Amino acid sequence: MPDLLLDHPRPNFDEFVRVLKGEQAPRRVHLIELGIDPEVLQVIQETYLGERSVLLPGVYVPDRPDEEFYRQLVNLYYRLGYDFTPLWPMWINSPHKKVRLASDTAGTSRVNREWVDETDALINSRAEFDAFPWDKIYSSMEIIEMAASHLPDGMKLVVSACLFEEIFENLLGAEGLFYKLTDDLKLVEDTFNRWGQIVYDYYASVIVLDSVGGIFHADDMGFKTGTLISPEDLRRLLFPWLSKYVALAHAHNKPFVLHSCGNLYKKSPSVMDDLIDLVKIDGFHSFQDVILPIADAKILYGNRVALLGGVDMDKLATLSEPDLRVYIRGILAACMPGGRFALGSGNTIANYVPLKNYAIMLEEARRWK
């Protein structure tokens, strides 16, 4: 299996941003991931570094701030060759929604996999909205401080949070959101505005820090053939907040990158057009070949926004080594010219992605000239 870890990485987040903005031609392939599953990080930590991993208590953050957790997290992203470590908030005082459990059959299994219960929600009425602890929810700054204290020279933190997904999955739930868009639009609007403000306050508290290089916001808006709610509702409920987050990042001369799964390309102007031209995102992440391969997206959007990731999850998980290498080289050949591109999975390095295939992707990135 190809080597996963670099002995002497040279992170350069400032160069990564210049390439992302099209201000500099890439001298190497920069890497990007929204996240790497903790089971994958655990295997790398224990197999390649010979250290006991503490990266499993939570999927993106531990159950409580833990210095060793963040030391290991930052060090692994550094040794894997990334210019930044993605960091998620740990929401204090936020009620947790019930989930459904199923056996996790991935190669690096977490025993049980959680699934969103689309029939359940935390807020089902105005009374539950009024009783929700909006004013008590915040993210601990200890997370940023602990992670920042372990950053090597040239590396930054990039912060992520969710708005639409939090409402769709937890606060109103899928069924609740769909019904209330017709039956109680005011409740939907108020929910977006209250959680939108919580996310804004979090971003505002951390974007001022030198250790934070930008925002990597995550909101899945669609599925294979369209958006989860109408484009008009996305423009009315979500985009004003996304625009505020973008303006916040830009006010501090830092980039705003958006992750969203789904088909955002229908009609003209499409949701994607509006994200680029009206919301003014700097980069877009998450590509599925069955919807729009990143090589095709490069032709359509490559001179307007950075295109990030692109290695389809199905192919990353299932292709043979020769086919995977040819596939990744094709992406690099199509997307590296002109910059405004970074290589990574089309979503995340999930625990069902074979470690060998992940290593192949990294090796092809390091070989590119």
> Domain-by-domain residue ranges, the chain?
13-367
Q: At what angle do helices 174-183 and 185-206 cross, to 10 degrees?
A: 120
CATH value of 13-367 in 3.20.20.210, 3.40.50.1970, 3.10.50.30, 3.40.50.620: 3.20.20.210
- DSSP-assigned letter for residue 222: B
Helices (H) and strands (E) in the chain, counts: 15, 11
> pLDDT tens digits, residue range 77-130?
999 999 999 999 989 999 877 666 666 666 666 656 666 767 789 999 999 999
pTM across the whole model: 0.94
Contact 316, 324 (CB under 8 A): yes
- Cα–Cα distance list, 22 to 146, 162, 277, 282 (Å): 32, 27, 16, 10
d(CA 173, CA 130): 17
- DSSP-assigned letter for residue 134: G
> pLDDT tens digits, residue range 31-65?
999 999 999 999 999 999 998 888 765 545 566 66
Task: List helix spans (H) across 62-184.
Answer: 67-80, 126-131, 142-148, 164-166, 174-183
Helix (H, G, I), strand (E, B) or coil at 139: strand
> pLDDT tens digits, residue range 144-187?
999 999 999 999 999 999 999 999 999 999 999 999 999 999 99
Omega of the bond leading into 269 within 30 degrees of 0 (cis): yes
